Structure 1
Amino acid sequence: MQLAVNMLLKCSESNLIERIVWLDDQYCYVVNINEASFPYQLTLEEVIESLQNETKVIVEQDPFVISVEDHELTEAELSKREFAWAIIQSIYVIPAIFDSKLRAQLIKEASEDFGVTKKTVRQYLKRYWARGMTKNSLLPDYMNCGKTISQEKSFTKKPGRPTIYDSAIKRAPVTEEWKKIFRGALEKHYFIKSKPSLKYAYQQMLKESFSKKDFQSGVKVLDLDNAIPTFDQFYYWYRKWYKADYVVRKREGQREYLKNYRAIIGSATEDAKSIGVFAIDATIGDIYLVSTLDKNNVVGRPTIYLIVDIFSRAIVGVSVTLMNMSGESVRVALANCFDNKQAFCKRVLNMDIGEGDWPMHYIPHTILADRGSELISDSLTSLTENLNIKLSNIGPYRPELKGICESYFGILQQHLAPFLPGAVQKDFNKRGGKDYRKLAVLNIQQYTQILVRCIIYYNHRYLEGYPLSKAMIEQNVFPTPIEIFKWGLSRGNGRLIQLSSEQIRSNVLPTGDATVTAKGIRFAGLYYSSKQALKENWFSQARIKGSYKIKIQYDPQDVSVIYLRHDRRNYEVCHLVEYQSMYKNVTLEEVRLLQLNRNQQQADFEHVELNYQIQLAQEIEAIVQQAKAEDDSSLPKDIKAIRHNRKMEKELLINSKYEPNNEPPVFHITPIQKNKLSLFQAKQKEALDDDYQT
């Protein structure tokens, strides 16, 4: 039985739930999450024995997991969290924090340094341990009380301290119209490469929007008949809207920001003597793939992400996608890294692997990455901070700092090239070379299955020349990536954290906007349904009142399901509607490519359809003209005997259909019908004679 930090253990005979907060060679330090407490020791043998005897069971669902972005938090929540986080970081020294005497001294020093009571510091520590040991575990429980304000407070008069001295300038509270003027002035006069002062932008705003032309001098002067904003009002909204990093990027440029202003978190060699430093990188695969939905459509070359533990050289995560290198594709790779690989292979790849084939589903303490734009975005920075992961970006043109990850791309693709049709060889794009696009037969799911099999092989291969440490030699550790990883995990030095699938989904998977319609929850052109939506008649309401937007999370590797977020803790799985079941186990990018192809087909067929419409109109008009030419307009229509005429016409059609020679049928006229016909002809003759005489 393998224990890990952040694992939850529940006693079978009571409601006691304990969280593992640290492991060493002999002891397991746990806390009671229901009644926040300091850690207490349990021997490893005792914990493992209780799990084997089932007196304790592992809890998969963490009741304190929170998924929230920084922009969703109030300023008070952010301030309290950051303050508590600073205190935790200042005293969280392992293993001293787990010794009661040393911990007391650390708490006392933090109390003096931050100007708070020792009781407050102890509460922060207990809360940090009980709620998952992440930054967001220190958030106050404001979400459980109060009522959110839907809009900013409005004022009837200018807020703030009243002016002491009278002035000819009128003052007023900031309106929505003024806010638009403020934004326009900042974008036009402040966020420019010449880097003028904020005063300059304020003066230019007054000249353009709050001045009028003086007819005597011909120059612009302040419009004193109307209210004019103060510089403090202008400065307040500038600080409220724009963060410091955004200002630097806009005025200095992205390159200067990354060079001199970005955060520096750790180094590439941090914790090199233990597991937990994961390197991530991406490349374009040397193979052409076909669509999962239509084998005749070539979708191009995939983007491959690999995540490698530097210490053990084990591949801990992989992602094969048709997306470009972006923050969304990085999230997919991280989700695979943190997820249970056996469950992932079954769910996404429809593939069975053993529990011990790829038992790596932990969160590292450091991610080592290059300076690609997809790895330094605000959303990923927020993601790593929320999961307490350090993101260490190496300098430009320094691939050797994560050479293990770089080399795996060449090893894997060279290994696979002889086996795979559609694999790109060295003569690609050369005169006389093959067109490997025409040889493609594998889709993205099949290629990923092959890649996973290779990864399992390389994680179990013998590492020739691996520098085993003295402790590893003494414990007879076999030099394979998976055994080295297990050895590092058993020592607890890597400080790896384990997350449940719900936590991975809520923290890592990308978010998007879906629309509730009468047909279902529409996302990426597909429709989904859920138990709650059916129970609460969402689709009927949308048909009556109109569609509306909701926030969802999705896995770009499989569009079979999306995840509906009810609040910070609760999610619901939404499945594809039945008539769209053909899209199961299909990637989001393949769905988008199919939709683009269909739209292009419709555009290509547009002129053909218009020609059909024109031809149809001409054929209808020709038939009508022929009917008009055969019609004797001099004779009136017999509308009184419609029923009799209809009967005669039906007999004519039946006889003409079944008679061998299709000769017209012979109608027998009764004496009464003959008299009516003679009378009609006489009346017709009289009418013609009258017309002739006139």
Structure 2
Amino acid sequence: MSDLICINAVYSRESGIFRYLADTDEGYIFIDIVDNNAMPKLVTFEELDDEVLTGTITEVKDPWQHLRSRHFQPDHDYIILRDKNYALIKPLITHPNFYSRNIRGSITNILVETGTASKSTIYRYARRYWQRGQSKNALLPDYNNCGGKGTKKTRGDKSLGRPNETAGLNGVELSPELESLMHSAVLDTILSGRYRIDLKGTKKNLFDIEKAYIELLLRYCEGDTIKLDDKKPSKALFSRYYYEKFTPERRAQAKHGTKHFNANNRVLTSTVRENLIGPGQSVIIDSTPLEIGAANEDRFPLGRPTLYAATDEFSSAIVGFLLVLTPPSYFNAVNCMTVAVCSKQEFCRNIGLEKYAGDWIMEGIPQAFFCDLGPEFKRQPIEQFVTVYHRSIKNSGAGQPDKRGIGEKVFDRIHGQINHKCPGVVSEYLPKKAGGKNSQAEYTLCLEELNKLLLKAVITLNNKPLKDWDGDADFPSDLKKTPNNIWKWGIANRTGLLQHAERNHFWFSMLKREEATVSNDLLKIDQIQYSCPTLAGIRIKKYHSRKKVTVVRDMDDASAIYLVPGEGKSDYIRCELSPHFRRYKGMPWADVLVELKKAKDAHNKGMHTYYKNSVDYLFESKNMVVQVNQDKKEKLGSLSKSEKLLYLGNKSKQRSESSKIYRAIKPEELHGERNVTEQVKTDSVALSKTQFFMDDED
């Protein structure tokens, strides 16, 4: 039976909870660990066997197990007191027959006679030693249980602690009613969720402990401040309540908001790389305004460029970047993704630093792009990466930059590498009264020069050892932890070569799909027409609904759009700009839309002027017609029809009337007045000639 029980183990029996101390030739020694007057007791073999057979004895958890692991310095007061108490009872607890009442009494009497301690003290320490596990730590003092920790103390209606040094300012006791007032004051101030935004865009609580305390006093006196002259809750009492009742996590959340807490103060339970196999598993792509302003080739300031960066999460390598002066857009994201997945040879050559292409080794399509919730990343077009390449797009939640910590930190790394070299750096605080600096006049570097600086910075950072990079056990300890080395090692030992991406196909396949209408064998999109080589080329009017085709367009050049290949085809068909819209050739689409808007506005203004002039013309015409009709009525009203048609077809009269118009056009020196007699003579001659030949008009 002794094989089934262990010394110092605790067992539940019918009569209570006992600890097994030792065994003898007569049976087993147990002691009740709950009874304050308990002493070791002998249990015979037969009694224990019966309990085992009936199932009335079972092993339970030791309530004093924690004492064995308590640790103090060797010179600590608790250790000195423990060893002193152990030396006091050592003759009793080490005797082989300590369970015998007579022997215990004899040893105790001897110890009392020597003046070591009283009998009650010896029995108390010996009982504690046996009940708590027969170890020296069982004799450690229980000072941690003193003082009633966690329980409320009261002293009648008087406040605890020393009296206030200022006469007449008496405190009050913490009562349930006062606790309720304190709780409501905290909820309506510090925990109300009301914040202000500082210059850095960080939330700051409108309330602090001081304002919350004033709110408490208002609720306590109910607006009658005279009540505060007699007694009032102290600020120390309120502060103690606040720090005891509300956890540090909740107080930290209240200080700057939940989003700031989750991003900066929340306890981290894992790392990004713990759940990644190797490089190419996840690439973070993000954008931010560059902290350096750009100028044109004549050094006139233009503005702050937009920097896109693509960062591999596993190796922290910068696999691609894009620096442009256009705002964030899906088109910019596609260009940055193209740089990230394709060979860097052509990109470096276009920048003018082809010699660095061999140092930028990262290429290949990753398993996933990890983006934020920017407008360029949450639109449907980016899902083409999933449908075409069978990869995934991941988005972090709103206000969760901590989930993209590596991608967010890369901008600080890049700025730290180049900011000290460049003029035109924009400080973090923009207002000058706050110590900021934002002088646009210092923008000096053009966009091409900034791209060269960025490329050199990327090459440098990809070869800089990462001090805090956390690798797995199989990463070689003697290998420098540079992003380049980590990428090479991960490709060779973890993920293998990534899927190759052909630059043109990747770029075209990632562009936004749009619909263009077909009219007279021309493609039309955003009011601009393009000729397609695959269409007939004959203008035939169609009376049915317009056909629509899917196209993509280069947002940097409106000279052409590209017809998306149909099923079973792979080539994108280039559609040139129609000659009627040749003025938009080579213009970015953003400028085209602006020009179209200007033209539309000008047309609308012109039509508005036309309508006004038409109204004036119609009004004047109607008045003139009324006057002419009135004049005709006065002059011809009494004549017959034949008399009214007397001069109809009279060529002389027609020429005479036409000469009035000619005179309005001829030079002024030719406007001499005709002689009346000469006119009559000419008319008579002309009439006589009609009998011999016809006029030129006939």
> Structure 1 length normalisation: TM-score?
0.44
Question: Larger Cα Rg: Structure 1 or Structure 2?
Answer: 2
Greater relative contact order (CA < 8 Å, ≥ 6 in sequence): 1
